[in-house]
Structure 1
Amino acid sequence: MSTAATPVNVSAPLELEWEADNVNDQYYLYLHFNEVEELAANETRAFNITINGEFLYGPMTPRYRSADTILTTTPLTGAARYQVSLSKTKNSTLPPILNAIEVYKVKDFSQSETQQDDVDAIKNIKNAYGVARNWQGDPCGPLKYMWEGLNCSIDGYDPPRITSLNLSSSGLIGQIESSISKLTMLQYLDLSNNSLNGPLPDFLIQLHSLKVLNVGKNKLTGLVPSGLLERSKTKSLSLSVDDNSGLCTTKSCRKKSSHVPLIASISAIIVAILLISLGFWIFRRHK
């Protein structure tokens, strides 16, 4: 530390500042001092140190060729910007100096808990279907123990969100559980090869992040929601609905199925009339 910074205006304070990425971030500050000049008998250097106007230490009088460090013992937090000011005292003849500064940001390596709405939704799904998996604790963490069939978004800052749910071949019975609609960050949903019945619900359209939906090999009925078909056409959604005999992708398939009994009935009537007519003709001929 053979060099030091001083203010351009010798009567002004020496100021340094930085902006926080988040007001909840925590910082520790280290200031290093060493007098690099051998002062004359009539010279003095003394200054006070403040952070955002709050007194930290003073008066600071650096020692000649000896290092001193002033540090914060508790984290700095709660501000969008931090300003460190070194202001000379009234009796000081020389401006403040600073040889080095270190700012450390606290990094929390522990994983946050899964976002609560996602936790509630996946637990409701578990209870509704009686999922026979070892789903215990937090769905997304720790990462090593993430629930089977799930994938989550984990960035180290925001609470994890469930982005993928795979319940294929899980023995699911009943209708598609409405709690799935609460997994608003879901990108991948696989419910294939189960015994799900009833309609394909409209709430799936509201899952705007959904990119893959597989409900093949179930017992679903009714029309596939037009919103899902439209997204499938635009390639924004990979949609699989195969092997659901009662599920229609167009209105025409429903109309077609409703016409079959009518056509069969008309055909039966025509055959009956022909048989009666034939019998009557044979009877008259023999007579």
Structure 2
Amino acid sequence: MPWNNERGDDPEFDGKKIEGTDVSSSHETTVQIIQKIIAEVIGTFFVIFTGCGSVVVNKMYGSVTFPGICVVWGLIVMVMVYSVGHISGAHFNPAVTVTFAIFRHFPYKQVPLYMVAQLLGSLLASGTLSLLFNVPDEAYFGTIPVGPDIRSFVTEIIISFLLMFVISGVATDNRAIGELAGIAVGMTIMLNVFVAGPVSGASMNPARSLGPAIVMRKFDGIWVYIVAPPIGTILGAFCYNLIRFTDKPLREITKTASFLKSKS
């Protein structure tokens, strides 16, 4: 299931330790981490290249339209979740990675590696778009607040909250249908872009905003996209965990006469 990385990469996770396998286990763990990092770089690259690419093409040629851009963002996230979710967890977003670590769904020691991989993927995608299309300033594909920064700040918190709330529901709760996680998350992003795109650019992702900003050297309101998404994702995960009640499958809960009895 994407994102659900509580097990981690510890060869002693199951409580068993085979004598004489420390070196090989350490080697396997290193290889697995490298594979995860590569998956995050590739996944983030294609999310940014495709999503931001639709923005560039629409601004330069007018052939995509705003609804088309919304659909592209949702589809590319869905596709990449199903492509590499079983390898790296398909975070593609530093705010999601940090939030998973805070709520013990991801090891802290891998957080810096994931964040570097996500930013690198965004930078590579943004640089590729800039070179391919020779993007002028008016076709900037990053995110800039429309109107007051505070309005975009609040908007980013709200849509990041919704994104993480959905992710927590479909990817960390064993009662959910895990196979639908990619569809649910992709559709959430599409809806968020529909609503917040004209206001804040609907980033929800510091890497998504930082990559284009660094490549194009446009840093207007960049603080909004660095600060707001982590606040929103942490609040979203907190609220889902608040209403989750239990990790037991629904069928186990309903076997008892009362939910309260099952908790006693």
Q: Same fold (TM over 0.5)?
A: no
Rg larger for: 1
TM-score grouping bracket, smaller chain normalisation: under 0.3
Higher strand share: 1
Q: Which has the higher contact order (CA 8 A, sep 6+)?
A: 2
Higher helix share: 2
TM-score relative to the length of structure 2: 0.24
TM-score relative to the length of structure 1: 0.22
